[in-house]
Amino acid sequence: PVRRTTVPQIRARKGGAPIVSLTSYHAHTAAIVDRYADFILVGDSLGMVMHGMDSTIGVPLDLMIMHGRAVVRGTSRALIVVDMPFGSYEESPNMAFRNAAKVMKETQCGAVKLEGGARMAETIRFLTERGIPVMAHIGLTPQSSHVMGGFKTQGREEDTWASHIDDARAVAEAGAFALVVEGVVEPLADKITAAVDIPTIGIGASVNCDGQILVLEDMLGLNPWVPKFVKKYGDLGPAIEHAVSDYAEEVRARSFPAKDHVYR
Ligand code: KIV
Ligand code: NA
């Protein structure tokens, strides 16, 4: 039996071969990603990508659990990390533990991720000491977009760097096993990577991070608009469009189903 990548294995990759990760929200794409990624994130970006929401604020815990289960079922190799959605962990370490334990029990995932730096350190320690591995997430944290005034690249002003570096140190010190660094200028991402002894996972950050992550649907070309940091490795939007339009045409022309597609 293939054993899944473990949290200590990811943790041990600091400064080593780059960690490969992508998001996935459902079984069939996860099965493909599973053959290449070290870990798969069931990101709360699913609210926007899969469910048409304007932000991740409205994502309920049950939706994360539903998608988390699908991804765990579809995979056998990668570590599965599930995002804690807005409102499910910030209030107190007790609340965070209760909801993170529910996620782990009901999805059988291997770890959770939550947003926030120094302010979440106490919670990260509380969870880790009680058996829940935590991946942290700093820099541009989409669940705080209302406070930040939108999805804004962080660290453009050098006098803000120290607080981001403090955040990274605080979550590492609290026991996070890895750290997503999102939407920060490259030199700040490099300083963060150098400042902590846990792997940094970059998205819109730097090639020098210990790993990279992208939203799968973005890199596959399913979203017409993507931010600058997304490289489109595929062009699935137009491919799906062609398939659907060919189907519609053939149904209207009564050329589908053809002889091969009917039972005689
Ligand atoms: O929700 C998500 O997809 C994420 C990644 C972009 C890191 O948090
Ligand atoms: Na997220």
The DSSP string of 168-207 is HHHHHHHT-SEEEEESB-HHHHHHHHHH-SS-EEEESS-T
Tell me which DSSP letter residue 223 carries.
S
Query: Mutation test of ligand 1: which of 19, 20, 22, 23 has the most ligand atoms closer than 8 Å to its C-beta?
Result: 23
Q: Is 235 one of the annotated binding-site residues?
A: no
Fold for domain 7-233?
TIM Barrel (3.20.20)
Domain ranges of the chain: 7-233, 235-264
CA atoms of 22 and 222, how far apart (whole Å): 15
Count of Cβ atoms closer than 10 Å to residue 233 Cβ = 12
Per-residue model confidence (pLDDT) at position 225: 87
Q: Is 44 one of the annotated binding-site residues?
A: yes
Q: Are 109 and 103 in contact (CB under 8 A)?
A: yes
40 lines ligand 1 (CB under 6 A): no
CA atoms of 208 and 18, how far apart (whole Å): 9
Positions in the chain short of pLDDT 50: none
Q: Are 42 and 68 in contact (CB under 8 A)?
A: yes
Q: Are 115 and 147 in contact (CB under 8 A)?
A: no
- Overall pTM surpassing 0.80 (yes/no): yes
Give me the interface pTM, i.e. the ipTM: 0.99
CA atoms of 115 and 137, how far apart (whole Å): 5
- Taking CA atoms only, the protein residue closest to ligand 1 atom 4 is 43
Cα-to-centroid distance, 56 and ligand 1 (Å): 10
Per-residue model confidence (pLDDT) at position 1: 64
